[in-house]
Amino acid sequence: MAPIALSAADYEARSFESPDGKLPYRLLKPANFDAAKKYPLVVLLHGAGERGDDNKAQLKWGGGLFTDAVAQEKYPAFVLVPQCPKDRKWVEIDWSSPQPVAPEDPGTTQKLLLSVIDSVQKEFPVDADRVYLTGLSMGGYGTWDLITRHPGKWAAAAPICGGGDKSKAAAAKSVPVWAFHGSADGVVKPERSREMVEALKAAGAPVAYTEYAGIAHDSWSSAFSEPNFLAWMFAQQRGTPAKMDLATSALTALAMPATEVFPGAGPLQVGDWFKKLWLNKRVEFSRNKDREKGAIVFLGDSITQGWSSAQKDFASRKIANRGISGDTSRGVRYRLKEDVLDLNPMAVSILIGTNDLALGATPEQVVDNIKAIIAELQKQNPAVPIILNRVMPRGGENDFPARIGKLNGLIDALAAAGKNITVCDTFGIFNDGTGKCKKEEFPDMLHPNGAGYAKWKTALEEALAKLKL
């Protein structure tokens, strides 16, 4: 049977009322629901920005994870997404405190939430040994608090960018936990998760922690993108030994490593802005990997990343844009396997070097890295067609034209000595006659506008034709 694709609309709008108050919630039923079977239940707690009473906003983050057709097929489950009232919290704890203290009374909202969970378990065939809890930001605080107050209720928990009372953490030592946070989170500092994780470790608990370098408060985007997130969660069962081998991050492997790890020679971007962009783009690339296999890969820096219409412009071909703004030839060389080789590309178009030169690299260093990139591509597929784009003219320092000219000469020589390699003259078509670009095509004297990309498209079409693509 083919997987059934669901959407946010498949979360049924419901409401729970008791003498304590009212709590709206959404409930997703398993695809191909069979009332004779028992299913896991996932409880997803949203953050502060989604509070209210519209019974919609709480699906903004994470809801789509469970409507994915593949997830529905592999992990059929009930998914409960309640909505916290405005000006309330899942636990009435002080978020701003450097040492959060759990209140004796968690508040009305948490009591209502527990009642909603109980009511769903009574109404539907829920496997009580497979009730899972996850939450982000305010929901992360709620997750930490609930597993310490009611540890016997949960088969596993995944708190994201939250925190809690570390003095109470040991109470949750029976609950398998995989926690997440961003190292650059200025809203909820990563120390909040680190402290809870360390307290659990000290208690001998089954706990794993993933911290995303350079990521700010929205670490849930990375956490929910982890290939093992659902596999780990649904592998846990209350009353059985924790299975923590799956609590390993695939995405941290995509983060920017220490500079000494990069192969080759030459400069690298090292700013926090770049580390965050590097991870975000590579996470995006990882998500798209399966559907972009066999594509023509456009590999490069901001000039490539900025070509947002590339797939539309080459509508008859499958295009995978692998540009990261600010990147250098060493950076491209490092990320080649996951971002390019794993796609088994039909062909690769490379434009790299302008950032290298701006950061002080020699043309020889750049071309040595490009040569190494070509060697890896041809090691995987000796017949892979490769397009080397000449470094485009730019504004800026007066010696750029000479250095770009030297680099392009080395690129030409590299192409002439290789097989299945052609050059795209992305210098000559933009040269204003003095070795610089034209303002009408490069408004900031570095990045092409629509007219510039149209001209590059024409030149690339000619190069693709030479390669019979």
161-175, 250-264, 291-305, 443-457: the lowest-pLDDT one: 250-264
Instruction: Show the DSSP H helices in 87-214 as ranges.
Output: 108-123, 138-149, 191-202
Structure tokens at 459: 């030149």
pLDDT digits (tens, 9 = 90+) for 420-464: 999 999 999 999 999 999 999 999 999 999 999 999 999 999 999
Residue with tokens 């052609």: 422
pLDDT over threshold 80, residue 358: yes
Domain boundary assignment for the chain: 8-252, 256-466
Q: What is the pTM of this model?
A: 0.72
Structure tokens at 239: 């009353």
What is the share, in percent, of the chain residues with pLDDT greater than 90?
89
pLDDT digits (tens, 9 = 90+) for 104-149: 999 999 999 999 999 999 999 999 999 999 999 999 999 999 999 9
The mean per-residue pLDDT over the stretch 67-93 comes to 95
Which pLDDT score is estimated for 326?
98
Structure tokens at 353: 């070097």
Cα–Cα–Cα angle for 294, 333, 285, rounded to 5 degrees: 45
| Residue 385, C-beta contacts closer than 8 angstroms, at least 6 positions apart | 346, 347, 348, 420, 421, 422, 467, 469
User: Are both 8-252 and 256-466 of the same fold?
Assistant: yes
Q: Give me the CATH topology for the region 256-466.
A: Rossmann fold (3.40.50)
pLDDT digits (tens, 9 = 90+) for 213-262: 878 999 999 999 898 999 999 999 999 999 999 999 988 888 898 899 99
pLDDT digits (tens, 9 = 90+) for 379-414: 999 999 999 999 999 998 889 999 999 999 999 999
Mean model confidence pLDDT for the chain: 95
Query: Which amino acid is residue 319, in one-letter code?
Result: I
Q: Is 299 helix (H, G, I), strand (E, B) or coil?
A: strand
- Gap between the Cα atoms of 347 and 422, Å rounded: 11
Which pLDDT score is estimated for 245?
96
User: What's the full length of the chain, in residues?
Assistant: 469
Q: Which CATH number fits domain 8-252: 1.10.240.10, 3.30.460.20, 3.40.50.970, 3.40.50.1820?
A: 3.40.50.1820
Which pLDDT score is estimated for 2?
37
